[in-house]
């Protein structure tokens, strides 16, 4: 067995303890819950329009996802372009 594999196994105890603590804490206190208005509100959307333009190529990265991936983090606000709000 490699050293990397061994070290990973040693983290099992602390990771298991922390994971269980947070999972149970949230189950009791429900601090992560809120109104899922993105899906529970009636939204009538017209077809999405837009453009896709290839701008670059990456070779040999070790990262599994794009850096700063926020495609699922709807509520995380990014730079707001103003001037078109009526």
Partner 1 sequence: MSNANTPPPGPPSAAPTGPGSPQDVPPPRGTFPIDPATLPDPIRKEIEAPDPVAIDTGADELKDGVNRCPKCGSTEIRQKPGTDMLVCLYCRNEWQSGRVEEEFGLGEGIDQLHGTVIASGARDIAADAAAMMTFKCSGCGAEVTVNTANAMTARCHWCRHVLGVNEQIANGAVPDAVLPFHIKKDDAVARIRQFVDKRRLFALKEFKEQFTPENVVPVYLPYMIVDANVGAGIAGQGEIKTREYTRGSDNDKKTYYDADVYQIDRHVDFTVDDLPLESSTERGNLDTKVNTNNIINTILPFDTKNAVKWNASYLMGVTSEKRDRDVEQLRPRLEDQLLSIARSQVEDSVKRYDRGVRWEQESLDVHGTRWVSMYLPVWLYSYHQPGSNGGMLHYIAVNGRTGETMGSVPVQQWKLLTTALTVGTFLEGIALWILGHSS
Distance CA 52, CA 67 (A): 19
Annotate 5-31 with DSSP letters as a single string: HHHHHHTHHHHHHHHHHHHHHHHHH-T
**CB of residue 1 to partner 1, shortest distance in Å:** 5
CB 70 within 8 Å of CB 76: yes
Distance CA 20, CA 13 (A): 11
**CB of residue 23 to partner 1, shortest distance in Å:** 9
DSSP character at residue 24: H
**CB of residue 15 to partner 1, shortest distance in Å:** 8
Touching partner 1, residues 26-85 (CB under 8 A): 27-31, 33-35, 37-46, 48-72, 74-75, 77-82, 84-85
Positions that interact with partner 1 (CB under 8 A): 1-2, 4, 6, 9-10, 12-14, 16-18, 20-21, 24-25, 27-31, 33-35, 37-46, 48-72, 74-75, 77-82, 84-86
């Amino acid at each position: 067995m490699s050293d990397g594999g061994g070290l990973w196994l040693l983290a099992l105890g602390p990771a298991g303890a922390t994971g269980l603590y947070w999972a149970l804490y949230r189950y009791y206190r429900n601090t992560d819950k809120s109104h899922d208005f993105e899906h529970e509100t009636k939204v009538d959307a017209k077809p999405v329009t837009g453009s896709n333009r290839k701008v670059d190529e990456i070779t040999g990265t070790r990262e599994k996802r794009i850096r700063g991936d926020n495609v699922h983090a709807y509520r995380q606000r990014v730079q707001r372009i103003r001037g078109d709000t009526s």
